[in-house]
Amino acid sequence: MPTWLRELDDLLRGRKGRPEALAEGTGHLRIGPHVGMAVLLGIIYGLCMALYSVLNRTPPAYEQFLSSALKVPALFFLTLLVSFPSLYVFSALTDAQLSPLAALRVIVSAVVVSLAVLASFAPITAFFTLTTSSYPFMKLLNVFFFGTAACVGLGFLLNMLRQLDRARTLGATSQAARAEEVTAGRRAGADPPPFTTAGKDAGRKLFQAWLVVYALVAAQMAWVLRPFIGASKLPFEWFGQRGGNGFTDVLHAIGELMGT
């Protein structure tokens, strides 16, 4: 198995997010290889998205292959660029004790997981592209796949933060145990656990708020980078005109699909 594929498999199976793996920090979550994997996975899905514009236009818009292949990974990394400062501030407010580099490693890993899920949908996207010419259907199908991939990635991110919390707590407990072995009778004066229940609840609420911010940024970023598929009745363009937003466009696509 190639090294990058083994790295991805370990990430998806949760081996890199176990408390024992995080006990020494996040150094094993290497940014360089993860960025490379994310770009490759995004390109795979982007090429399958572009099939619609190539097969349903006369003449075929082959430029859409390059456009979509670049835009899919760009969507995730530009969203990361915009939302990363708020993630770091929120993690600091919850006393997660993550350095900027450690926080970046964790969220890049979450991006890899999202794009791995998205790439797993690539054969399905290609299948429906070959069997239907409905642009509203293809648009909504891709919105669903992107939304699912983003939810899985954010779930992975929250789990990693919980495991980091657990690793930190276990580390503090083991240090306290070693201190007890050296100095008897200090149990009553031992330091309290680093996180209280109230602190954890407050932290979860803060991260839930950040998830809403991340979702809004991602949705608008997708709108800014459109088109990803390319309507068959419109000429090829690298970027759509400014104005509107992705939410109203989704509602419009639903109306078109339902024939209203």
255 vs 201, more confident: 255
- Provide the pLDDT for residue 35: 93
Distance CA(19)–CA(42), nearest Å, equals 29
Count CA atoms closer than 13 A to 200's CA, side-chain side.
Answer: 13
pLDDT on residue 182: 43
pLDDT at 41: 96
Answer with the residue of higher pLDDT: 179 or 48: 48
Q: Over 70: is that where the pLDDT of 197 sits?
A: no
| Residues 43-97: tens digit of each pLDDT | 999 999 999 988 888 888 899 999 999 999 999 999 999 998 888 787 777 666 6
Per the model's pLDDT, the better-predicted residue between 234 and 120 turns out to be: 120
| Contact of 231 with 185, CB cutoff 8 Å | no
What percent of the chain is predicted at pLDDT more than 70?
A: 83
Looking at per-residue pLDDT, the higher value among 208 and 157 belongs to: 157
For position 185, what pLDDT does the model report?
47
Give the pLDDT score at 176. 46
Buried b (16+ CB within 10 A) or exposed e, 205-218: ebbeebbeebbebb
Residue type, 74: A
- Specify burial of residue 96 (Cβ count, 10 A radius: 0-12, 13-18, 19+): buried
Residue 179, pLDDT above cutoff 50: no
What's the pTM value of the predicted model, to 2 decimals?
Answer: 0.83
Q: Which of 28-37, 160-169, 192-201, 221-230 has the lowest mean pLDDT?
A: 192-201
At 97 the pLDDT is: 65
Distance between CA atoms of residues 124 and 210, nearest Å: 31
| Contact by Cβ (8 Å): 22, 164 | yes
pLDDT of residue 128: 95
| Confidence band, pLDDT 50/70/90 cuts, at residue 122 | very high
> 19-23, 62-66, 157-161, 201-205 — which is least confidently predicted?
201-205
- The answer to whether 235 and 209 have CB atoms below 8 angstroms apart is no
Contact present, 242 and 225 (Cβ < 8 Å): no
Residue 1, pLDDT score = 58
Instruction: Please give the pLDDT value at position 248.
Output: 84
